[in-house]
Amino acid sequence: MKASLGDKLLVYILSVVSIVLWGMSYIWSNQLIQWGIPVVYIVCIRSLVAGLVLMLFNFIAGNSIRIHKGDLPKFLMLALCEPFIYFVCETYGIKLTESPTYSALVIATAPLFSVAAGVMLFRERINWVNIVGIGICLLGLGIVTHGATSVGEHFVLGVVLLVIAVISEVGYASFTKALSSTYKPTVIAQYQFLFGGIMLLPLFVTMGFKEYDAEIYMSWDVWRPILCLAILCSSIAFTLWASTIKNLGVAKASIFLAMIPIVTAVIGALLGTELLTPLQWTGIAIAFFGLIMTQYVRKKR
């Protein structure tokens, strides 16, 4: 059954909401890192809280959370890709690059890998207009991040970790696509974060309490961004994103990730931590034009 214009518009709106929330996540993560909170502490707490919130939602909504025979390995691989590998590499990458905007730029290269995965694994269709659109979109976001904040001493290592995060993001999208025809998005996200949180527990116990100070770690100033990351950027954003992948496919959904650094830069400008130049605003316009081209579908004669 062909989706109506209203249904397609809703999918795009939900996609944009996910991207906005993820764009904000870089700023909240950077705040926690600057306060000296260990990465594994942030990631593990974020994952477990997100999983428990989604479990409560599924219970209230009456959603079946039973895992069918043979699907457990897919859920475990999903959680291994994201949050385990992705969140650890992403957060350490932000810490080492010392630039949320540049970090978001590296993560935004995910569409290049995801398009290949979508075409080869799921036989998704993409045309030359979509490919040109990806190039224009990446050009635009490159302009936006030009002249951004200074980078850290271990910038290169940070970029390597971010690239690993990108590859794990492609794996996450692929396993989500494979599970989306059987399970609700909230159920997929629930197990993703519960299993991921359990995988992170050994690191949390051994590395998450270095220089632990209850007055700081349990303060509202620390828990506020952690709860924002867990509820907004994990529970809500990943549920919406699972729905996006189901409806648009791995290739076309992932192209929206290219807009994350633009959202991060704009939010940084609104908060006063980044100052966007006229050239960067031009880059935003170019990126949006490229994004529109990536969603173009050729009609059959």
Banded pLDDT at 301 (limits 50, 70, 90): very low
pLDDT tens-digit series, residues 91-104: 788 778 776 666 76
Interval 165-186 mean pLDDT: 88
More confident residue, 186 or 154: 186
Mean pLDDT score of the chain: 80
Give residues with Cβ within 8 angstroms of 106, minimum separation 6: 93, 97, 159, 162, 163, 166
Asked if residue 42 lies in contact with residue 226, where contact means CB atoms within 8 angstroms, the answer is yes
Q: With a cut of 80, say whether residue 128 has pLDDT above it.
A: no
Please tell me the predicted confidence (pLDDT) of residue 16.
86
How many other C-beta atoms can be found within 10 angstroms of the C-beta atom of residue 218? Answer: 10
Banded pLDDT at 52 (limits 50, 70, 90): very high
> Tokens 């890998």 — which residue?
113
pLDDT tens-digit series, residues 108-126: 666 666 666 666 665 666 6
Q: What tokens were used for 36?
A: 């000296």
Q: Please state the domain extents for the chain.
A: 9-294
Banded pLDDT at 1 (limits 50, 70, 90): very low
Banded pLDDT at 294 (limits 50, 70, 90): low
Q: What tokens were used for 218?
A: 């349990």
Interval 199-213 mean pLDDT: 82
pLDDT > 90 fraction of the chain, expressed in percent and rounded = 26
More confident residue, 230 or 271: 230
Interval 82-97 mean pLDDT: 83
Asked if residue 103 lies in contact with residue 26, where contact means CB atoms within 8 angstroms, the answer is yes
Asked if residue 86 lies in contact with residue 172, where contact means CB atoms within 8 angstroms, the answer is yes
In this prediction the pTM is 0.75
Q: What tokens were used for 239?
A: 């549920």
Could you give the C-alpha distances from 100 to 5, 81, 144, in angstroms and in order?
35, 21, 13
Banded pLDDT at 19 (limits 50, 70, 90): confident
Helix (H, G, I), strand (E, B) or coil at 69: coil
